[in-house]
Structures are given as structure tokens and as C-alpha cells.
Amino acid sequence: MYLRWAKRQGYEGRIVDKCPFKNGGINSATIEFEFECAYGYLSGEKGAHHLIRDSSNESSQLEV
């Protein structure tokens, strides 16, 4: 996600470290960017991010 954002902005980034889950996917990753004001652009992105999947069952339950 962040590498695609950087590429669209014309910046370069690289994956420094990646830890996979046992059952597939990525548990954690460290990405390095080098461009002017990179810290300012990305300082709000620190911490854990989680993917939330939308279930088709939930959407049918929300209908009234």
C-alpha cells in the first residue's frame, strides 16, 4: 500500500524487513523511504494498521 502510494507520488521506497503469518499474509513489515519531507508525510502513519474485510452477511443484516 505504501510502496504504491510512493510510486504514484514519484518517490522510491524499499522493504527492509517482512515477517509473514504462518497461514499466509504479512504480520509486520518495515519500509524505508528517502525523500524530502518524508517524515512529515508519513508521521501520522506510525503504529499498527489492520485490514478489515467487509462480509456480505453483514451488509444484508444492516438493511432495514
The domain spans of the chain are 2-62
Could you give the residue ranges of the DSSP H alpha helices within the chain? 2-9, 38-42, 56-62
State which fold the 2-62 domain adopts. Alpha-Beta Plaits (3.30.70)
- pTM, full prediction: 0.56
Distances (CA, A) of 10 to 31, 33, 35, 62: 16, 12, 10, 41
pLDDT attached to residue 24? 81
Distance CA 43, CA 46 (A): 6
pLDDT attached to residue 61? 44
Q: What is the DSSP letter of 48?
A: -
pLDDT attached to residue 54? 62
pLDDT attached to residue 51? 62
Tens-digit pLDDT string for the chain (64 aa): 888 888 898 988 899 999 988 888 888 888 888 888 888 888 877 766 666 666 555 544 444 3
